[in-house]
Amino acid sequence: MKFNKVLDGLKTYEAGKPIELVVREYGIKSEDVIKLASNENPRGCSPKVIKALQDEANRVHLYPDDSMYELKDSLAKRFNVKSSNIIIGAGSDQVIDFAIKSKANENNSMLMAKTTFAMYEIYGRQTGTKILKTNSHTHNFAVSSDGEIRIGNNMIKIKENLEEIKRAYKEWKDKSKRANVIKISFE
């Protein structure tokens, strides 16, 4: 079977170790393990979530509404936004995957700091996008009018999509044009 060429050099994503493996390797109790890098909640599940799961347990054999109409409608009303402007994903990771795959292709480049979430590069490579990494561990950068991107003392010359980069950077600098980010608490 032949796979897409862009996948040839793709490294396998290595997830964090499961608690069971940490217990075996270090001989400690599972309740003493707190995994900060795996997006796991060390406090456990909210009692409200447990109750909601119990209330819906008799429906788990049914295929869920993948449009998530009711959830989007409720969030839209609560935060006074259009439901069409809400993206639901299995964590921010999936939303980032959607965003990259909706725009990136073999004619694009993605710029990222040397140290960042591994999936950004993996998603970019899956689309054939050229990955540009800086030597800097920070995400602070500036774009000049001729397409030079400066990150600390590092400079990268960008030719493709220069106008789009300039427009995006200009919008990012204008705080009034940044997307509204709403912090949601489910206490």
Per-residue pLDDT tens for 46-85? Answer: 999 999 999 999 998 999 888 999 999 999 999 888 999 8
Report residue 126 CA to chain centroid gap.
Answer: 15
Give residue 76's pLDDT.
92
CB 93 within 8 A of CB 120: no
- Average pLDDT across the chain, whole number: 77
pLDDT at 121: 87
How many Å apart are CA 128 and CA 109, to the nearest integer? 9
29: left (phi over 0), alpha (psi -120 to 50) or beta: beta
Q: What is the rounded CA–CA span in Å between residue 150 and residue 37? A: 29
pLDDT tens readout for residues 138-181: 666 665 555 555 555 545 555 555 666 666 666 666 666 555 54
CA 187 to chain centre: 23
